[in-house]
Amino acid sequence: MSFHQFQQTANHRFKFGLFMLYKLPSAYFCGVRLRSITEKSAVVSVPFKWLSQNPFRSIYFACQAMAAEMSTGVLALGHIHGRKPAVSMLVTSIKAEFVKKATERIYFTCDDGEAMQQCIEAALASGEGKTFTATSTGRTKDGEIVSRFWVEWSFKGKS
């Protein structure tokens, strides 16, 4: 299955919602949602609501991390989906920077799809695991940066 076929499934709200409910129930109930995906980038949002807030009346860091990780992970899923041989993927580290208090819906964008695809291709060509650090930036609807996450993924072809 190509990235395009994965993209069609991911952009189908009901199908992707069922996937999230089954595989990522915490993110689903906190309101984390995929907004858009291309081979180059993905946008995921998280709302400011009761289930996503902390005692300081802002979006809990873990909810922001779920959205940031998903913006990088959905790109990886798209690039490995249907591969022969199959590719395993795993988060190996995560780093975050919080710039502003998150008191409204935040949109996390990862624009590293092309570089991530090259890393996956290199892992398959070498037969060895490769790591890639994807950046996800969380912004308000007005474009103001709230937080940044660096998510390191490991990719390895399955034998």
Instruction: Give residue-wise pLDDT tens across range 15-57.
Output: 777 877 778 888 888 999 999 999 999 999 999 999 899 999 9
Residues near 22 by Cβ (< 8 Å), separated by ≥ 6? none
Check which CATH number belongs to the domain holding 7 and give it.
3.10.129.10
6 has pLDDT over 60: yes
Pairing between strand 130-139 and 42-46?
unpaired
Rounded CA separation 95/81 (Å) = 26
Per-range mean pLDDT, top range of 19-23, 79-83, 114-118: 114-118
Split at pLDDT 50, 70, 90, the class of 150 is very high
Instruction: Give residue-wise pLDDT tens across range 96-111.
Output: 999 999 999 999 999 9
Domain count within the chain: 1
**pLDDT at position 1:** 52
Residue with tokens 């995560």: 94
4 has pLDDT over 80: no
**pLDDT at position 122:** 94
Report the greatest alpha carbon distance in the chain.
Answer: 48
**Which tokens is 88 given?**
């395993």
**Which tokens is 55 given?**
């005692």
The domain of 38 spans 3-157
**Which tokens is 69 given?**
């990780």
